Amino acid sequence: MITQDSIEALKARLDVVDVVGNYVELKKAGANFKAPCPFHEENTASFVVSPAKQIYHCFGCGAGGDSVKFVMEYEKLNYPEALEKLASMHNFSLSYTDNKQNKPRSQLMEKINEWYQQLLLKNTTALAYIKERGIYESSVEKFGIGYAPDSASTLNYIKSQMFNISEAVQMGIVGSDNKHLFARFIERITFPIHSSNGSIVGFGGRTITGHQAKYVNSPETPYFNKSRLLYAYHLARQDIYKRKEIIITEGYLDVIMLHQAGFTNAVATLGTALTSEHLPLLRKGEPRIVMAYDGDKAGRTAALKASRLLSAAGFSGGVVIFGEGIDPADMVKNGAVEELSDMFRQSKTFIEFVLDEILSLYDLRDPKAKESCMQEGIGYLKTLSPLLQEEYKTYLASRLGGLGVSPSLVKLNNTQAQSKPQTAQHNRHKDMWELTLIKTALEYPAFIEQILDVLDPSLLQFHSREFSLALQGRGDAPELMAIMIDESIKSLTNEEELKAELITFLTRHYERELKKINMQNSISFEEKAFYIRKFRGKIAKLKRGELVGI
């Protein structure tokens, strides 16, 4: 079993925004972050993540918890598996009560990379390629560039270091074919790929001996998902946050050369197009995004797909398309750094790029093709916000207008259906005073005794159940998580403030009780007189500033 001390130490390292943000695209909303809930279908963002409380809660389906609970629910893991997954993601060594398991997490990937780096220094062909591409020695060290030898050498090294072969298979260093083991990276320059927190989770490899595939990446593993990772993000992250801009390229060498030239906010996709799974990572720091893609057919297609995705998701930024046969790495090598800087600064906005690409796909001299082009442009505009639709409707009309098309023909027909409430809880009455009291009890347990001296849960008209849960310390209850994470509910922060609010509440309570007793005809005159005196006495004391109990 994992020791409790180890669990607490891991939890102390976790940030719920980072953990959830690796799976879900979060948007800043005041002090919290919001997103459509990943646990049920919905059109509105009712899923809230609180960095202050370190919890998440969905106001639609009621799902909620901390970082560990999220990984359990999202990945369908049990508690120990979720802890181990989070530990591996954060390069943390768990401790176990069983001494056989109580050992540091394997450093297989780091050791393999160190070995690859040593081999690079001994391989003249690989070093010549590095030099020819204009890569500095400092960049070789910064990016951990290495060289993978033949398969037998790699297998022998793993065995000599006493690493488990099954782990090497799991991590994607070794593959198996009909029970025969082989190294996945053979005679290639290697580029270690890191998770956003800096752990090595895979490799990219570039052949220098004529293998059929010029570049290969690690296979998909529990740690390596190329659709969620960006090459060199761990190195670029701080500059991305500072500059509020990220440059996305298509290759490792582009990134390395751009960093050499001072564009230290550059990253690259891993041999795949940009996908929706990249969006949570790109959302961090809310940067402007510059897509720097090759001008060949594949590059333009990838840029078009990415621009559609990013514009529909509300990102700002633009596209830079390089001439065929030229890429960012070549421009840096040729000293065209100022020209590069201008290109990034003057990138074409995502929306204009998409519309221009759509226009380029049709023979606009043909009326039928022109009509199809307009309909495709309108279809794309409908993926944007209403404001952007109206703004770029004019752009599309102006591009088609010069070709005999009236702008009035570009009709968007924006009629947005109102989304229905997700559950009955949206229609439920919310009493802010009662919710404030509950939040106070949750955040300041020392006040609970003072509260219980004068009232009990039965006095609350709308939220007595939540108050009972709070008194029981059931902070993991979905109803209480919803209260904790709701920014509109404020807690009382000192005893005087609490006393004043309790006096106000109790005064109203006893005034209501007094009205009820005055209208009561089923009790005797003596009993009614007793309760009238009792309630009037309590109200008088409360109005003098004295707290009286129930």
Could you tell me which of 456, 369, 358 has the C-alpha nearest to residue 405? Answer: 369
Q: For a pLDDT cut of 90, what percent of the chain falls above it? A: 36
Asked, for residue 225, whether it belongs to a domain, the answer is no
Please tell me the predicted confidence (pLDDT) of residue 368. Answer: 85
What band does 428 get if pLDDT is binned at 50, 70 and 90?
very low
Residue 76 token pair? 């369908």
The answer as to whether 269 is a domain residue is: yes
DSSP designation for 220: P
In this prediction, residue 112 has a pLDDT band, given cuts at 50, 70 and 90, of: very high
- Find the CATH number of the domain harbouring 151: 3.90.980.10
Boundary of a domain, candidates 313, 337, 354: 354
Q: Are residues 308 and 259 in the same domain?
A: yes
**Which structure tokens are listed for 471?**
């008194």
82/86 Cα distance (integer angstroms): 6
388 and 446 co-located in one domain: no
Specify the higher pLDDT residue, 133 or 433. 133
Confidence band of 74 (pLDDT split at 50, 70, 90): confident
The pLDDT score that the predictor gives to residue 478 is 79
User: DSSP assignment, residue 207?
Assistant: E
CB neighbour list of residue 419: distance below 8 Å, 6 or more residues apart: 42, 43, 44
Report yes or no on 101 lying in a domain. Answer: no
Domain count, the chain: 5
| Range scoring the smallest mean pLDDT among 129-133, 174-178, 280-284, 315-319 | 280-284
Is 16 or 473 the better-scoring residue by pLDDT? 16
pLDDT averaged over every residue in the chain: 85
Q: List the CATH number of the domain containing 35.
A: 3.90.580.10
Give the lowest-confidence range in 69-78, 301-310, 417-426, 478-487.
417-426
The verdict on residue 224 lying in a domain is no
**What CATH number has the domain bearing residue 333?**
3.40.1360.10
Task: Please state, in angstroms and rounded to a whole number, the distance separating the CA atoms of residues 232 and 139.
Answer: 12
- Residues 237 and 348 placed together within one structural domain of the fold: yes
Per-residue confidence (pLDDT) for residue 406, from 0 to 100: 52
Q: pTM for the complete prediction?
A: 0.65
240 and 350 fall within a common domain: yes
My answer on whether 252 and 346 are in the same domain is: yes
Let me know if residue 227 belongs to a domain. Answer: no
Residue 226 within any structural domain of the chain: no
Which pLDDT tens digit goes with each residue over 368-418? 888 888 888 888 988 888 888 888 888 888 887 654 455 455 566 554 433
- What's the pLDDT tens digit per position in 311-343? 988 899 999 999 877 889 999 999 999 999 999
Q: Say whether both 320 and 243 belong to one domain.
A: yes
- pLDDT recorded at residue 272: 78
- Do 511 and 459 share a structural domain? yes
Dihedral sign, CA of 465, 468, 474, 480? positive
423 within domain boundaries: no
Last residue of a domain, one of 354, 372, 392: 354
364-369 mean pLDDT? 81
Q: How far apart are CA 331 and CA 470, in angstroms?
A: 62
Q: Residue 402: give the domain boundaries.
A: 362-409
* Domain annotation covers residue 549: no
Residues 222, 89: Cα–Cα separation, whole Å: 10
Residue 500 pLDDT class (50, 70, 90 cuts): confident
* Neighbour order of strands in the sheet with 200-207: 146-148, 188-194, 200-207, 215-217
Q: Are residues 339 and 238 in the same domain?
A: yes
Same domain, 456 and 528: yes
pLDDT at 14 over 70: yes
Q: Identify the domain boundary among 192, 217, 242.
A: 217
Question: Quick one: pLDDT at residue 424?
Answer: 35
Q: What's the CATH code of the domain at 446?
A: 1.10.860.10
372 and 448, same domain (yes or no): no
Q: Are residues 115 and 80 in the same domain?
A: no
For residues 18 and 112, membership in a common domain is answered with no
Distance CA 306, CA 285 (A): 19
Strands (DSSP E) along 323-375, which ranges? 348-349
pLDDT at 453 (0 to 100): 79
Specify the pLDDT at position 410.
59
Res. 148 pLDDT band, cuts 50 70 90: very high
